[in-house]
Amino acid sequence: MSENAKAEPWIPGEHEDDDAKCPVGLVQQAWIESSMLWFVDQFGKDVVMRDIVPPTRDFLPDPYFGKDHEVADLFFGKMWQRFEPQVRQVLLSLDKAQGEQGHRKNGARAVGHYQVKDGVPFVWLDPRLASDLIYLVAVMAHELCHVRLIGEGRVDPDRKDQERLTDLLTVFFGFGIFTTNVALEFEEADRRWKAHPIGYLDEYRLNAARDNGVRCLGYLDEPEFGYAMACYAWLRGETYPVWAKHLDPGPRLYLKQGLDHLSAEARPGEFPTTRQGRVSIRIVSGDPLASLPLCLRVPRRDTG
């Protein structure tokens, strides 16, 4: 999307009844709202009040040639300054062979990975990410959120919703435009459905790409990301965020619906499900959030 992209205007509060419905289910809504408030407690309200990070030359390096040193400069420069990790050091690797050897899960090829080695946070990035700055920033944001959550001991790495919480934190830190913009178009070709990316991020998304007809889209779906962006705007006191022009049409619609819902159901800066006596949520073994679909399944070729 260009820097001069325009969003369809809307006025939250002036809507049909259906438009005021939350774009996600009650469990997801309560989880998103309570998690955003937990982020405020953990990282401070000033973080969410910073300018959102735009997918433009205002933030992205220009010129940029995808060299290893440029990737490292971005990670330890603008990205590091934005996230302000409270750890002494983080190791960064762009070794392709290392990714091929150790970063596969359930047949999926990882494009980013976080772990702790000898007590030091370690981030691996697929060097092929360097060719797409938008994709690269999204993955960097996800991994740096791991550093802030797991590396700083804020959450247990075995927590059931840990990956989803990491995706949500990218929104809180202002990188939601990058991690939200993923959309797929389907067309039938040669008796097989094929996925074609529309938005900034392609079908590999944040963590993987499968070669067996399944395309992994990440840990939050479009309605969840759209509502998370609405909660982000609501915390900032924005009812018509000008940055919405940078979102793809699908997430932008969910953002609109989310703001309509919040305008109808909550007071400024508060959330509907977190009011006393409404809804409480806790993450336990077997929590339904852990089993939500994370992949878009594409029918395989009929070999019969």
pLDDT digits (tens, 9 = 90+) for 46-59: 999 999 999 999 99
What is the pLDDT at residue 119?
Answer: 83
Averaged pLDDT for residues 122-136: 88
Per-residue pLDDT band for 184 (boundaries 50, 70, 90) equals very low
Question: Considering the domain boundaries, does residue 304 fall inside one?
Answer: no
Residue 191: CB atoms within 10 A of its CB come to 8
Question: Considering the domain boundaries, does residue 11 fall inside one?
Answer: no
Strand partners, 182: 201
Residue 38 has pLDDT above 50, yes or no: yes
Averaged pLDDT for residues 145-169: 92
Total structural domains within the chain: 1
Question: Considering the domain boundaries, does residue 2 fall inside one?
Answer: no
Q: Nearest CA to 75 among 116, 112, 119?
A: 112
Structure tokens at 143: 């991994």
The dihedrals phi and psi of 287, each to the nearest 5 degrees, come to: -60, 140
Residue 25 has pLDDT above 60, yes or no: yes
What is the pLDDT at residue 225?
Answer: 93
Q: Rounded to two decimals, what is the model's pTM?
A: 0.76
What is the pLDDT at residue 15?
Answer: 45
Averaged pLDDT for residues 155-162: 88
Q: Maximum CA pair distance of the chain?
A: 59
What is the pLDDT at residue 49?
Answer: 96
Question: Considering the domain boundaries, does residue 117 fall inside one?
Answer: yes
Question: Considering the domain boundaries, does residue 31 fall inside one?
Answer: yes
Question: Considering the domain boundaries, does residue 3 fall inside one?
Answer: no
What is the pLDDT at residue 149?
Answer: 95
Give the tens place of pLDDT for each residue, 86-101.
998 899 999 876 655 5
Most confident of 118-122, 145-149, 156-160, 220-224: 145-149
Q: Which of 86-90, 112-116, 208-212 has the lowest mean pLDDT?
A: 208-212
Structure tokens at 53: 């990070």
Measured over the CA atoms of residue 254, residue 132, residue 146 and residue 157, the dihedral's sign is positive
Residue 294: CB atoms within 10 A of its CB come to 17
Per-residue pLDDT band for 19 (boundaries 50, 70, 90) equals low
Look at residue 268 and give its three-state secondary structure.
coil
Structure tokens at 303: 């070999």
What is the pLDDT at residue 194?
Answer: 37
Question: Considering the domain boundaries, does residue 303 fall inside one?
Answer: no
What is the pLDDT at residue 98?
Answer: 63
Q: Which of 10-19, 275-284, 291-300 has the lowest mean pLDDT?
A: 291-300
What is the pLDDT at residue 60?
Answer: 92
Of 207 and 105, the structure prediction assigns the larger pLDDT to 105
Q: How far apart are CA 23 and CA 101, in angstroms?
A: 40
Of 195 and 218, the structure prediction assigns the larger pLDDT to 218
Q: Which residue in the block uniquely carries the two structure tokens 């991020």?
A: 201
What is the pLDDT at residue 218?
Answer: 58
Q: Which of 40-44, 97-101, 237-241 has the lowest mean pLDDT?
A: 97-101
Question: Considering the domain boundaries, does residue 80 fall inside one?
Answer: yes
Q: How far apart are CA 110 and CA 95, in angstroms?
A: 13
Domain range enclosing 244: 17-297
Averaged pLDDT for residues 217-226: 80
The dihedrals phi and psi of 219, each to the nearest 5 degrees, come to: -100, -20
Averaged pLDDT for residues 285-304: 35
Look at residue 15 and give its three-state secondary structure.
coil
Are 139 and 125 in contact, with CB atoms under 8 Å apart?
A: yes
Of 210 and 103, the structure prediction assigns the larger pLDDT to 103
Number of H helices, E strands in the chain: 10, 9
Chain-wide mean pLDDT for the chain? Answer: 76
Strand partners, 116: 121
Per-residue pLDDT band for 200 (boundaries 50, 70, 90) equals very low
The dihedrals phi and psi of 128, each to the nearest 5 degrees, come to: -70, -15
Give the tens place of pLDDT for each residue, 242-256.
999 999 888 899 999
Q: How far apart are CA 129 and CA 22, in angstroms?
A: 34
Are 53 and 174 in contact, with CB atoms under 8 Å apart?
A: yes
